[in-house]
Structures are given as C-alpha cells and as structure tokens.
Amino acid sequence: MPVKKTKLVTIKTQETSASVDSFIEKLSDATKKSDCYAIIEMMKKATKAEPKMWGSAIIGFGNMRYVSPKTGREVDWLIIGFSPRKANLSLYVKIHANKNPELIKKLGKCKTGGGCLYINKLSDIDAGILQEIINESVKTKSSI
C-alpha cells in the first residue's frame, strides 16, 4: 500500500516568544483590554494551557496539526485563540453558524464566518454561552 504523501507547509503566522501581557497593554481601548483578559481566562480554563503570541496579533492556546479537509494541506496551528482587531474581537473557535444556529442566537450580538466568531465587546454577549462554545471547540478540535 502506498504511503500518503504529506502536504505539510510552513505558514507565516507562527508561535512566538513575545509577551501576551505586553501586547494587550499596548491596546488603547480599556474595554478591549479588559475583554482580552477575560477571554484569556476562559480559554485557559478550557485548554489548561498558557496563552502564547502567534505572529504579531493573535493570542493562541495549545498546538495542533490542522489538516484542511478540502486540500489535505497540513499546518501547525493553535487549538483555539483570538485577536483584538480594530473593528472587533476575532475568536478562532471553529464554530459554524449553520451547524449551531440556536447556540449563536443565544450568544447575543455577534457575527460568524470561516470558523471564526466576531464580537464587538463581551458585554454584547452571554459569557456562559461563549464559555460553552470555547469548551466544545477545544474538546472536539474540529468544527462544532
């Protein structure tokens, strides 16, 4: 039987040794800073891992080898993470709205796309539902 050839690629966004706290403290929006620390605690609780910087703007937890179901391409990536973008908080939680419309509806004011969850601020959503989404995403390590 032939051995399947791997398509492991190295991507530009890699885990770094940069300080997560220093990154957050550079944010000018006090609400966004506070929300970042709250999300870190939620993700630490789910992963039992410490946050690490990935590239210059993503805070990630854990490591995994992600294999694209469409292309077979493999990359080393974080299990779960987020980025405090200018427009919103982008959470990489592997959620797809079409698979969980009730959960998304209960969450509150948010948008989804490409396995990401976009929220403006934590006060817009139900933190308990967000923790449930985070926990499930970590548990399955795949789309929920």
With respect to residue 1, please indicate whether it lies within any of the assigned structural domains: no
pLDDT tens sequence across 34-81: 999 999 999 999 999 999 999 999 999 999 888 877 888 888 889 999
Do the domain assignments include residue 56? yes
Whether residue 91 is contained in a domain is answered as: yes
Using one digit for the tens of pLDDT, what is the confidence trace for 88-132? 999 998 776 566 778 888 999 999 887 789 999 999 999 999 999
In a domain, 110, yes or no: yes
Residue 2 lies in a domain: no
Count the domains in the chain: 1
Domain extent, residue 62, equals 7-140
Look at residue 26 and tell me if it is in a domain: yes
Q: Residue 38 domain-assigned?
A: yes
Q: Does residue 97 fall inside a structural domain?
A: yes
Task: Tell me the CA distances in angstroms from 114 to 51, 125, 143, one per residue in order.
Answer: 22, 20, 10
The enclosing domain of 75 has a CATH number of 3.90.1150.200
Query: Where does the chain show beta strands of DSSP type E?
Result: 7-8, 52-54, 58-61, 64-67, 73-77, 80-84, 89-92, 111-113, 116-119
Q: What is the pLDDT of residue 143?
A: 40
